[in-house]
Structure 1
Amino acid sequence: MRWQRPLSAGVGVAPLRAHGSRWVGQFVRNMLEISNHARVALKQGAPLMEVAPSFIDLSAYNPALFGGAPPKPFVDRVLAVREYTLIQPLWRQAFLQRFNYDSALLGRIDDDALLPCSQVVNASFMVASDDPGVFDFYRDQLGLKPVGVQEIPYEQAMASRGVFDLREGECHWCYTFEEPRSGDTNDTRRSGRLYLFRFPSSSALPDRLSQSQPGHLGCSLFTWRVRDAAALRDASLAAGLKCTTLGEDEFDVSSFLCVTPDGMHWTFQQASTSEIASLSP
């Protein structure tokens, strides 16, 4: 999307640690190949910021899915993910590389691309709030499947310690919502997830909410297609949320803009008849 008269340059290459910060997640075949391009771009003077790849031990991070027994180094296969974060003025991306496991429906990597990666599989943002129910909209009105809320103290943090520049003793929470058809196994998990992060107000995050909204450059708007946009708008208004009128957008799709309780702006589009049929269980 291109704004005719941008309100500002947006958040630029500011770190992810901020109230209102948005980013997306994609799976990649080789994150170091992307990092190589980033290093060349930096050498040529491009404005960007990167966070070195972090290690996520899946047996500890998600024992219910991957088993809780720690692997024996240099004996067992290590089920893991490496996460590399690349921030540019118009893009804020977390690249994830799998090791020794796969999820066929969760990110389909295009191996013919210059930098083989998948479609966006996760949308993420961060807020500072003391309200544990700040993200209830995504369950109650949008109808996503809540998978769980993970409390992550500093001592147990993996990727988030470096990516979010955690302070010693600091705690945060990760809320996961999935597409309703997504299952509980690696073979049935699907793209279309929200990884939402809540920090307590005592963390005093920089406030960049106003700069990460429509009209500002960069990652400033998420769009979600729904089965019944009119019904979702009615439910959102009934919940006291601010919504625009329902009308055709620049793609000739019926849609509306909504400000959710966490302060984020969303565009909700009406799915076509064929899309709705493809979403049937």
Structure 2
Amino acid sequence: MTNPSISGLYEIAIGITAADESNVINYWDKFGFTVNLSGNLDREAAKKLYGVDSNVRSLRLQNKVTDRSLLRLMIWDNPVNEGLGLSPLKVVGSRWGTSLCLDVFNVANHAEDGQALGLPIYYVPPQRNLINRPENFTPFYQANPCVHEMVLIQPLTRQVIFQRHDYHRPNSGIVNPDSYFKASEFVHAGLIVDCESERLDFYDQVLGLVRTLDNVESGYSLASRNILEVKKENPDERMFNTYFTAPGYDLKEKNHVHSGNFEVLRLEGNLENKQTYSRPGCLGTSLYTLKVTDIDSYHQKVSNSEATEVTEIIVNEFAEKSFSFVAPDGYFWTLLQS
């Protein structure tokens, strides 16, 4: 008998209202996502699984890759609150999806023009980060691996979008060539925490994700400071990066680097906590889901851990066995039977 296993990111879930549905579907179509499944839960079932006293109708959207990094729109009859809104990335409770794009400056142009027209948009224009550049780099004669990375936040979406230059990872960011923005599935999902690093042990010790970067202080390149708004000159603002992937990949092999990872940024300093605006029932980006091979085993493991608000296993709106919980760092998660 094989051991129970867990996927990387399966879905990023976004809470919306019925009035938002058409516009949101059209928006994500520009990034290559299309609806492929729908389902409903009544108030009683939604209360049991998500802790929300509201009927919910959900749509599952896929980009070019169908087995990971999907998008779920959760259409609530009675949303709990307005969600994270235009809060910048640097708040506790902040979640976002990071996607590859073949022309990040096109996205930035739309963000700049939309903001100029008075649309509710918060964005950080593309910033360049170098990727393992040789110490004695000679322009035009050597490869120049780097990324341009930007932040795009709107009331119902929180995105980090990047473009690669001079390097390629074939299974990490598979672009839908038919999409307007030539964008990929979610390469990874992000979280901001301000807890002790030991609270993150839950993700590998209980859930079984693989920690590939462990509490490494980062964020002091100019690009990273601008993206996260971390001020190097402020000694109280320090950032530590922990990275989790699904088990089963040899990460030393370029072709084994897959999408669907989790980047947890632990920031020191006095951060606003908005986790009550970042869970099911809230509008905007509010939930991550993962798939497991033995949901009963996982339910027992999570129930015996420091997780709270562990629900019973019930069938979700897509007829999948599911349960939810709040991890020790305060984030709400849902696991699905694969």
Instruction: String of CA shifts for 1:234-253, please: whole Å, max 9, x gaps.
Output: 10111132210001001111
**How much does 1:17 deviate?**
0.6
- Counterpart of 1:146 (choices 196, 199, 211) is 211
**How much does 1:105 deviate?**
0.7
Instruction: String of CA shifts for 1:183-206, please: whole Å, max 9, x gaps.
Output: 223222011100001112xx1011
**Partners of 1:133 and 1:73 in 2: CA distance:** 43
SS in 1 for 2:171: coil
**How much does 1:34 deviate?**
1.1
SS in 2 for 1:220: strand
Deviates further, 94-103 or 31-40: 31-40
**Partners of 2:88 and 2:263 in 1: CA distance:** 17
Instruction: String of CA shifts for 1:23-51, please: whole Å, max 9, x gaps.
Output: 11111110011112222322332101110
The one-letter code of the counterpart of 2:315 is E
Structure 1, gaps ≥5 residues long: 61-67, 272-281
Does 2:285 align with 1:212? no
Kindly report structure 1 stretches of 4+ aligned residues shifted beyond 4 Å: none
Alignment-derived partner of residue 63 in structure 2? none
The one-letter code of the counterpart of 1:146 is R
**Partners of 2:136 and 2:76 in 1: CA distance:** 49
- Counterpart of 2:266 (choices 168, 186, 198) is 198
Alignment-derived partner of residue 93 in structure 1? 159
Cα distance change, pair 75–214 in 1 and its aligned pair in 2 (3 A): same
Higher relative contact order structure (alpha carbons within 8 Å, sequence separation ≥ 6)? 2
- TM-score, normalised to structure 1, is 0.88
The one-letter code of the counterpart of 1:174 is N
Does 2:327 align with 1:254? no
Alignment-derived partner of residue 73 in structure 1? 139
**Partners of 1:133 and 1:250 in 2: CA distance:** 34
Alignment-derived partner of residue 160 in structure 1? 224
**How much does 1:52 deviate?**
1.4
- Counterpart of 1:9 (choices 67, 82, 89) is 82
Asked if the contact 1:147/1:178 (under 8 Å) is kept, the reply is yes
Alignment-derived partner of residue 66 in structure 2? none
**How much does 1:150 deviate?**
4.9
**Partners of 1:247 and 1:70 in 2: CA distance:** 58
Cα distance change, pair 70–152 in 1 and its aligned pair in 2 (3 A): farther
Asked if the contact 2:191/2:264 (under 8 Å) is kept, the reply is yes
Does 2:131 align with 1:58? yes
Alignment-derived partner of residue 336 in structure 2? 269
**Partners of 1:69 and 1:116 in 2: CA distance:** 33
Alignment-derived partner of residue 181 in structure 1? 248
**Partners of 1:148 and 1:184 in 2: CA distance:** 13
Asked if the contact 1:179/1:191 (under 8 Å) is kept, the reply is no
The one-letter code of the counterpart of 1:119 is E
- Counterpart of 1:112 (choices 150, 160, 178) is 178
Structure 2, gaps ≥5 residues long: 1-73
- Counterpart of 2:238 (choices 171, 183, 188) is 171
**Partners of 2:337 and 2:137 in 1: CA distance:** 46
Alignment-derived partner of residue 288 in structure 2? 222
**How much does 1:110 deviate?**
0.8
Does 2:200 align with 1:127? no
More strand by share: 2
**How much does 1:225 deviate?**
1.2
- Counterpart of 1:238 (choices 293, 301, 304) is 304
**How many pairs were matched up?**
260
Cα distance change, pair 8–144 in 1 and its aligned pair in 2 (3 A): same
**Partners of 2:312 and 2:166 in 1: CA distance:** 48
**How much does 1:215 deviate?**
1.1
**Partners of 1:260 and 1:237 in 2: CA distance:** 11
**Partners of 2:306 and 2:218 in 1: CA distance:** 33
